[in-house]
Structure formats: C-alpha cells, structure tokens
Amino acid sequence: MSLPPTPIPDPESLTGPAPALAEAVSAASIEPIVLPPPEPRFPAWSGWDVLAVLVFTTVAIFVFSLIALIIAGALLGYRGMPIHDLAAKLATNASVVVGAQAAAYPVVLLFIFLLVRTRSHESFGKAIEWNWPGILAPGFLLGGGVFALVIESLSRYLPIPKSLPMDNYFHDATSAYMMAAFGITLAPLLEELFFRGLLYPMLRRWFGLVVAVVLTAVAFASIHGAQLGYAWAPVLSIFVVGVVFTVVRVRMKSVASSFLMHCGYNFALFALLWLASDHYNHLEKVAG
C-alpha cells in the first residue's frame, strides 16, 4: 500500500514573508547613530600664538614708552633732548613707566581676547578657564595676603639685597600710590592671563603637569628678574610664588582664582610698605 504524495509548498509561501521580515528588521536596525561632538582641544591655541602675545606685548610697551617719554619730555621742559638721553633721565620716573604700561596693557589684553576667540569656538572665559570662584573669591584675596606675609617672613632668612632696582620707582608718595594702583589691578590681570591662562596649558600639553608648573614659575620669575637685580634670593622667592599661583590655578581649574590671590599678594606687599613708610610719606625709612 503506497502513501499519497506529499504536496510541494508553493515557493512564494516560503519566500514571501522573508523580504517583509528583512525589511522590518532592516528598518528597525538602521537608525541614525548620533555621535557626541568631539571634545575641543585644550588649549585651542598653539605655542606660536603664545609667542605672538609675548612679541606683541614687548612691542606695545616699547611704543607706549616712547610716546610717554616724548610727552613727559615736552611737559618737563626737555623738548629737543635726544631720545636716548631722555630715556636715561626718565627711566625711573614712575609717572612715565607706569603711565606707559597702563596704556599698553589694555591693548595687550584686547589682543589676547581676540586671539583666543579666533582660536576657539567657546567663550573667552571658558576657553581660558577663567571660572570665577563665586563666594570663595574673598578667600583667595585673603589667602594671597596671608601668603605674602609668609613669604616676607621667610625671606628674612635669605640674603635679600638692601636695595633693589625696583626701589628706584618709589621716589615719593605719588609714585608709590601709582605703583600700588597698577600693581594690584592691571599688572596681576595681564600676568595671570598670560602665564596661568595661555602659557601653562600650552606647557602642560607638551611636557605634563609637573614640568609645566615648574616652567611656568620659571618664566614668571624671569620677567621680574630685572626689577630684582637678578639677585638669586628674591628671584627664588618669586619662583615659589609662581609655583603656588600655578598650583592654585590647576587645583581650582580657575585663572580667576590665581588672579585674586595675586591681587591679594601684591596688596599686602604695598600695605606693608605703606605702614613702614608712614603712608608713603617717608620712603627713606625703608630705602636701602
């Protein structure tokens, strides 16, 4: 007895649903994959940009110093004097020196702002990690003042020269007040933006954290070398100050924090001088 033949399935019944199933699976799996935007490179600027800021600053100070010399020479009755003789005569005149730098620094700050904005798509503050510390701001000011007192106390154990080149700018009360106003406002702002804002991130990308902190402090001490007569003891003190300011900037991820500490530090130094010289009226008491 033979079995009835098994019916052969219709090919369409086997293959018909397959394309529909494949199409459904394909539609479900091929969804657009949204990748997160790449992290912006930090810093956005290059070593050449940092060098450009340094060169621009040097040129700006030179140009404004030349203008200040010409104006001062005319006002003080030195009209017609050769510029090199005029420069030698007014080299320690606080009105000329501070006036020239006070005019040059805002121009340099604008140059830094424009450079950072052209290199980064972020805001200037975010690109440079300004990051205002909020309610902690007074603490950084106070910390800078306390730190200045500590450095001054420790420096008594070092062979600090009795007279330094920067002392020549403190002729009278007016000169001292001008130096103080400049030293607690524009000077720390530009120095922090350049050293802790521009230079440190560049060095960290190249050499790593520790070397970057040390090299930033070396550069910071170097620009103050001429004011200190390149005497090793005061230059060493400024180097330590530079290390601390940079560490604060690193720990807080905030250039504003190191700026506030720098302002507090300088304010304390000028306040000590103010007290020691009877309100800047007897600067000879603290002169070497």
Q: Render pLDDT for 119-156 as a digit per residue (tens, 0 to 9).
A: 999 999 999 999 999 999 999 999 999 999 999 999 98
**pLDDT bracket for residue 187 (50, 70, 90):** very high
Residue 26: HSE in the Cβ half-sphere, 13 Å Cα cutoff: 6
Average pLDDT estimate for 64-81: 86
Average pLDDT estimate for 258-276: 97
In this prediction, residue 8 carries a pLDDT of 55
In this prediction, residue 132 carries a pLDDT of 97
Residue 213: HSE in the Cβ half-sphere, 13 Å Cα cutoff: 13
Higher pLDDT, 16 or 137: 137
Q: Which of 24-28, 71-75, 154-158, 266-270 has the lowest mean pLDDT?
A: 24-28
In this prediction, residue 212 carries a pLDDT of 98
Domain boundaries, the chain: 43-125, 129-288
Average pLDDT estimate for 67-88: 84
In this prediction, residue 75 carries a pLDDT of 84
- 115's CB contacts (< 8 A; 6+ apart) are 45, 49, 52, 53
Average pLDDT estimate for 74-81: 80
Q: What average pLDDT is seen over the chain?
A: 88
What is the C-alpha to C-alpha distance for residues 257 and 192, in angstroms, rounded to an integer? 10
| pLDDT value at 193 more than 90 | yes
In this prediction, residue 280 carries a pLDDT of 92
Q: Please report, in angstroms and rounded to a whole number, the separation of the first and last CA atoms in the chain.
A: 132
In this prediction, residue 4 carries a pLDDT of 58
The residue to which tokens 């020269």 are assigned: 161
In this prediction, residue 31 carries a pLDDT of 62
Residue 38's alpha-carbon distances to 6, 34, 35, 42, 130, in angstroms, are 63, 12, 9, 12, 22
**pLDDT bracket for residue 90 (50, 70, 90):** confident
In this prediction, residue 5 carries a pLDDT of 59
Average pLDDT estimate for 93-122: 95
